[in-house]
Amino acid sequence: MGASAVQAVTAWVVLGGHPSRPALLELSRLSPWAWAARTAGLLALWAGGSIATFALTFDPFLTALPFFMVGAVVWRAFRGRYRVYAFRGDCPRCGHALTVKPGTAIGLPHPLVCYQCHHEPRLAAA
Ligand SMILES: [Zn+2]
């Protein structure tokens, strides 16, 4: 919805001090309108939720909850300009296969975590 066609992108898994590894990446770019509408909607939810919680509870600690939780969602939506369809890449350090769940909205470069050697390579598009 609101996304353009899926395209294969030349991508690299980058980790400082190690040679970069090529990765297979298929994604679609969210249209600026879809992205702006989603971000604006979440932003309104975030502001409204925080204000409503404070108005109802007058409790700054309870207010902090939606403030940070929805804030994190807004931040991810703001960063998520691309939707991943397929990803295949290996850790530059240990060669362990890295995963990005299909359907995830990401920005680029995107941080990855290797569960084998616990380093944090980045996924970068060429
Ligand atoms: Zn690794």
DSSP state at residue 108:
S
The string of pLDDT tens digits covering residues 32-42 is: 888 899 899 99
Element (H, E) at 22: strand 18-29
- Which 3 state secondary structure label does DSSP give 39? helix
Residues 92 and 72 in one domain: no
The domain total for the chain is 2
Residues 91 and 75 in one domain: no
Compute the distance from residue 27 Cα to the ligand 1 centre, in Å. Answer: 24
Residues 72 and 101 in one domain: no
Residue 21's pLDDT is 97
Mean pLDDT by 10 residues, the chain (126 residues): 76 97 94 89 93 92 89 88 94 97 92 96 92
Compute the distance from residue 62 Cα to the ligand 1 centre, in Å. Answer: 39
Residues 110 and 99 in one domain: yes
Compute the distance from residue 81 Cα to the ligand 1 centre, in Å. Answer: 26
Domain that holds residue 39: 32-79
20-29: b or e for each residue (b if 16 or more CB lie within 10 Å)? Answer: ebebebbbeb
